[in-house]
Amino acid sequence: MEIVAFGVQTDEQPYLERAFAGRHQVRSLDVFLNRDTAPIARGYEIVSSSVSADLGADVLQTLAAGGTKMIAQRSTGFNNIDLEAAADLGMSVGRVAHYSPHAVAEFAWALALAVDRRLIRATNRTRNFDFRLDGLMGRDLRGRTAGVLGTGRIGTAFTRIAHGFGMNLLGWDLAENPHCVELGMKYVARERLFAEADLVSLHLPLTDDTRHLVDAAALAAMKDDAILINTSRGGLVDTAALVDTLKAGRLTGVGLDVYEEEAAFFFFDKSLDIISDDTLARLMTFGNVLVTSHQAYFTQDAVGQIIEATVANVEDYLAHRTNENMLVTRGQLPKAAP
């Protein structure tokens, strides 16, 4: 069987093709799946999508009309997929429930250290042979407080690193994680975490309840010299409110690997375009803000695990089996929400 895979990154393609070798052929496309590109999938029973795909009801209808019966998304997040529409169309939808949590946790710390120690500003200076230290003073993290919102696998990995730095640990989640408690984490109300943390890191899924979790009120509660890191989903942060906070001269630094409207920009070369998104354009002007293009997961280890899980999802679908990754199985939603 031939499978069409959308949104395949150049570095990802050999991993994908090797994993399916001897099983199925893969047509790898660098374009992302949306209403304009969905007709390309006509005749393909199985379509693999990336986290940047638009799999709303209209796109799913186009895919189903073209013969697609299974969506194998190469990501953990699935807020871009209309699961009820997929079920109504009799489709199967799989994602990757788990992959290396260390990839994202370590990248979150890379962002935190880069903004704390002014590494981007320092690198830009030294490239111009300016070796002054003016404006480059950072802070020791030891003894300061890390606030972790979301203490699942990635949040726990982030917490272990914070513990290694000798930081005090505050956590917020629906349920306490005993592994984090063993490390000394104290679970507190969200408002207290924002008020007391020197470093706030987000490790939550995007849902109706978590959208704009970091809003104007949360930002106002944070310390003037706090650091905010988001490697989860852009919609967790009210970016307009964040810009206003930064314009007021507050927050030591911000590291963002995700952005609310990233689908129009991330993974594309926009260097020759006029950027019409005023919020993103303004965000990029702040010297204490570091924005990367949703690359926290992008390690050899994590990508390999994502693709292995995608292959397993395809094989289980073809064998009429189910697994923990299946969000919709031949038109049937699970009894409990994933």
Tens digit of each residue's pLDDT (9 = 90 or more) over 184-221: 999 999 999 999 999 999 999 999 999 999 999 999 99
Q: Note whether residue 180 is domain-resident.
A: yes
225 in the same domain as 155: yes
Q: Is 262 a catalytic residue?
A: yes
Please indicate whether residue 337 or residue 263 has the higher confidence score (pLDDT): 263
> What range defines the domain where residue 73 resides?
2-99+300-328
CA dihedral 50, 52, 56, 58 (to 10 degrees): -90
Residues 44 and 134 reside in one and the same domain: no
Say if residue 96's pLDDT is above 50: yes
Query: Does one domain contain both 72 and 153?
Result: no
The verdict on residue 282 lying in a domain is yes
Which strands sit side by side in the sheet containing 92-94, from one edge to the other? 25-28, 2-5, 46-49, 70-73, 92-94, 326-328
Are 61 and 134 contained in the same domain? no
Residue 337 has pLDDT above 50, yes or no: no
pLDDT tens track for 225-284: 999 999 999 999 999 999 999 999 999 999 999 999 998 899 999 999 999 999 999 999
**Counting beta carbons within 10 angstroms of the beta carbon of residue 129, is it exposed (0 to 12), middle (13 to 18) or buried (19 or more)?**
exposed
List the catalytic residue out of 182, 233, 261, 330.
233
Number of domains forming the structure of the chain: 2
Please tell me whether residues 91 and 108 are part of one structural domain: no
Please say if the pLDDT value at position 79 is more than 90.
Answer: no
Could you read off the pLDDT of 102-114 as tens digits, one per residue?
Answer: 999 999 999 999 9
Q: Is residue 192 part of a domain?
A: yes
In a domain, 113, yes or no: yes
Per the annotation, the verdict on 27 as an active-site residue is no
Q: Which is it for strands 46-49 and 25-28: parallel, antiparallel or unpaired?
A: unpaired
Model pLDDT for residues 121-145, shown as the tens digit of each residue: 999 999 999 999 999 999 999 999 9
- Are 231 and 203 contacting, i.e. CB atoms less than 8 angstroms apart? yes
Average pLDDT, the chain: 96
Q: Which residue has the higher pLDDT, 76 or 4?
A: 4
Are 175 and 238 contained in the same domain? yes
Residue 336 has what pLDDT? Answer: 52
Residue 204 lies in a domain: yes
Q: Which of 262, 282, 315, 321 is catalytic?
A: 262
Average pLDDT rounded to a whole number, residues 311-326: 96
Give yes or no: residues 78 and 116 share one domain.
no
The domain that contains 26 carries what CATH number?
Answer: 3.40.50.720
User: Does residue 254 form part of some domain?
Assistant: yes
pLDDT digits (tens, 9 = 90+) for 82-94: 999 999 999 999 9
Nearest-angstrom CA–CA distance, 218 and 171:
15
216 in the same domain as 113: yes
Each residue's pLDDT tens digit, 31-47: 999 999 999 999 999 99
Residue 66 has pLDDT above 50, yes or no: yes
Mean pLDDT, rounded, for 61-78: 96
User: If DSSP codes are grouped into helix, strand and coil, which group holds residue 270?
Assistant: coil
Give the pLDDT score at 338: 43
15 shares its domain with 146: no
Separation of alpha carbons 217 and 191, rounded Å: 9
Q: pTM of the full predicted structure?
A: 0.91
Q: What local confidence, expressed as pLDDT, does residue 157 receive?
A: 98
Q: What is the separation of C-alpha 239 from the centre of its chain, rounded to a whole number of angstroms? A: 16
With contact defined as beta carbons under 8 Å apart, do 87 and 328 qualify? yes
Do 21 and 45 fall into the same domain? yes
Contact 211, 238 (CB under 8 A): no
* pLDDT score, position 334: 79
Task: Say if 59 falls within a structural domain.
Answer: yes
> Is 50 among the domain residues?
yes
Q: Are strands 25-28 and 2-5 parallel, antiparallel or unpaired?
A: parallel
**150 with 276, same domain?**
yes
d(CA 223, CA 197): 8
